[in-house]
Structure 1
């Protein structure tokens, strides 16, 4: 499927971490995410049965030269797949636990706030980018909504996001989050 662009906004609050938690919960409550169905096969088997089945399939597909070298494939991802199928989804964090390899293609994939770009983090949109996009470091709500609707906000990698504060006059009004995530 590939990564998807997403955006979210919350009313302004000085605690960006709390705003991100709220944006994630709001997206979950609205169903604004992609959801993988749990593996019916994993649900029908014990963990050991599931691992044995998939390891056998993996070994059957390996070139003979790897098998001759007594190479042992790793089963941790298979175990993680089985465990993910058994997660009871009750909120944004358990949703991520239930689909560790695909993400949700939404703000739910962002789990923290950082100063520097990092995996699953939102960071402040750099001042130079604000100047370039809006001509100011205090963009209006209308300007931000227009930019988000037109092209999104870019400048970060896959499985990363950014945030910025939109203003109503001199007052901070909203925190916008945007990013690319999911697979």
Structure 2
């Protein structure tokens, strides 16, 4: 199947980890992810209903290998000073924003300029987006995952 790009906008909150957890919960409840065991390419008797919990989802070996092609494939937000880690989200630093978009205060208009900051599969990024007055408005999460 190959990796899939994903991206999400959520309302701003200072705790990026809490924002990620709320987003993951929402995506899971909505069923807005790839469920490898539910594919119509499987014989009817091999198909499985969607998991009821995230723990059940990740207990499935097929999911562990293929992923969900969504935000569910990343589990926590790293600190800006940590080395990038698989299945994690790393915030865009002010220096990265300045290099990519020419400003340390990103807005929605800068999203295209920062897209390449997430280049690796099974790795996500996030950026706080501001309004025209410099007030944080939302958080943008994006990345690539799945096999």
TM bracket (short chain): 0.7 to 0.9
Please state if 1:121 is matched with 2:88: yes
Q: CA deviation at 1:180?
A: 0.9
Q: CA deviation at 1:100?
A: 1.2
Change (3 A) 1:133 1:120: same
Computing the radius of gyration from Cα coordinates, the structure with the larger value is 1
Q: Distance in 1 between matches of 2:59 and 2:105?
A: 36
In structure 2, which of residues 105, 118, 140 is the aligned counterpart of residue 176 of structure 1? 140
Change (3 A) 1:164 1:36: same
**Structure richer in helix, relative to its length:** 1
Q: Is the 8 A contact 2:7 2:140 kept in 1?
A: yes
* Correspondence for 1:34: 34
* Correspondence for 1:96: 58
Extract unaligned runs of 5+ from structure 2. Answer: none
User: Is the partner of 2:85 in helix, strand or coil?
Assistant: coil
Change (3 A) 1:170 1:124: same
Question: TM-score normalised to the size of structure 2?
Answer: 0.78
Extract unaligned runs of 5+ from structure 1. Answer: 45-84
Q: Is the 8 A contact 2:35 2:50 kept in 1?
A: no
Q: Is the 8 A contact 1:10 1:22 kept in 2?
A: no
Indicate the RMSD between aligned Cα atoms, in angstroms.
2.8
Q: CA deviation at 1:155?
A: 3.9
Q: CA deviation at 1:132?
A: 2.6
Q: Is the 8 A contact 1:165 1:175 kept in 2?
A: yes
* Correspondence for 1:73: none
Q: Is the 8 A contact 2:6 2:70 kept in 1?
A: yes
